[in-house]
Amino acid sequence: MKVVTGVVGNDVHVVANRLIDISLNQRGFTVFNLGVNTYLEEFIDAAIETDADVVLISSLNGEAEGWSRDLPLLKSRYDLDEVLFVIGGNLSVGEVTAEEIVPKFEAYGFDLVFHQIDLNEGLDRLEETLKERNA
């Protein structure tokens, strides 16, 4: 399975991105890591170019919402129905609960949304979802 990953927008927090790359590789995924400061359009370009199964976006500085707003538009423009969209990290600024923030990202078209969720828990959920999809 192929995964495009990176940190969205003007976000320089790189440590989680490195851990995500290592963890995905250890789980047997083929990883295309776009690194920090990656625009949404670049994730889409890379997903099309690599024929990716998953786009896994990380955001730590709290600005993900603004950078994710064009996802419905981009999804409507390109054939991305088979691609699973995942986002995680700190998805808002300050003290916001998952109950408040998760539905917003789901409405943008993300299939899995992890606000301040442990990486391994998120990746376990990703693998379960892929298994269910391919069953």
Catalytic residues: 11, 13
- Select from 40-48, 73-81, 84-92, 100-108 the region that touches ligand B12 (CB under 6 A): 84-92
Our finding on whether 55 is near ligand B12 (CB under 6 A) is no
Tell me the closest approach of the beta carbon of residue 82 to ligand B12, in angstroms.
19
Our finding on whether 89 is near ligand B12 (CB under 6 A) is yes
- How many helices (H) does the chain have, and how many strands (E)? 6, 5
Compute the Cα dihedral for 21, 26, 126, 29 and give only its sign: positive
Our finding on whether 22 is near ligand B12 (CB under 6 A) is no
- How far is CA 86 from each of CA 21, 37, 72, 129, rounded to the nearest angstrom? 14, 17, 14, 11
**Subset of residues 113 to 132 that bind ligand B12, contact rule: CB under 6 A:** 114, 117-119, 122
Q: Which residues contact 120 (CB under 8 A, 6 or more apart)?
A: 23
What residues make contact with ligand B12 under the rule CB under 6 A?
Answer: 10-16, 19, 56, 58, 60-62, 86, 88-90, 93-94, 114, 117-119, 122
